[in-house]
Amino acid sequence: MDKFRVLEIKKSVFENNDREADKLREELKKEKTFLLNLMSSPGSGKTTTLKATIAALKDEMRIGVMEADIDSDVDAHTIAETGAKVIQLHTGGMCHLDAGMTKQGLEGLGTENIDFAILENVGNLVCPAEFDTGAVKNAMILSVPEGHDKPLKYPLMFSICDVLLVNKIDVMPYFDFDLEACKLYVTKLNPNIKIIPISARTGEGIDEWANWIREQVKQWNS
Query: Residues 143-183: pLDDT tens digits?
Result: 999 999 999 999 999 999 999 999 999 999 999 999 999 99
Instruction: Give CA–CA dist 17/95, Å, rounded.
Output: 16
The pLDDT assigned to 170 comes to 98
- Percent of the chain exceeding pLDDT 90 equals 73
Q: What is the mean pLDDT of the chain?
A: 91
The model's pLDDT over 78-102, given as tens digits with 9 standing for 90+, comes to 888 999 999 888 777 677 789 998 9
What pLDDT is stored for residue 76 in this prediction?
Answer: 83
Please state, in angstroms and rounded to a whole number, the distance separating the CA atoms of residues 15 and 32: 26
15-59 tens-digit pLDDT: 899 999 999 999 999 999 999 999 999 999 999 999 999 999 999
Average pLDDT for 177-203:
98
Mean pLDDT, rounded, for 127-145: 96
The residue among 205 and 79 whose pLDDT is bigger is: 205
**Which residues 6+ apart lie within 8 Å of 133 measured at CB?**
21, 24, 35, 37, 97, 98, 99, 101, 102, 119, 121
- Residue 90's pLDDT is what? 78
| pLDDT computed for residue 25 by the predictor | 98
With 60 as the cut, is the pLDDT of residue 115 above it? yes
Determine the 3-state secondary structure of 212 from DSSP: helix
Helix (H) or strand (E) holding 137: strand 137-143
- What per-residue confidence (pLDDT) applies to 3? 57
Number of Cβ atoms within 10 Å of the Cβ of 2: 5
Residues 6+ apart with CB under 8 A from 114: 33, 62, 63, 64, 85
pLDDT of residue 8: 47
Categorize the per-residue pLDDT at 12 as very low, low, confident or very high, splitting at 50, 70 and 90.
low
Mean pLDDT of 200-210: 98
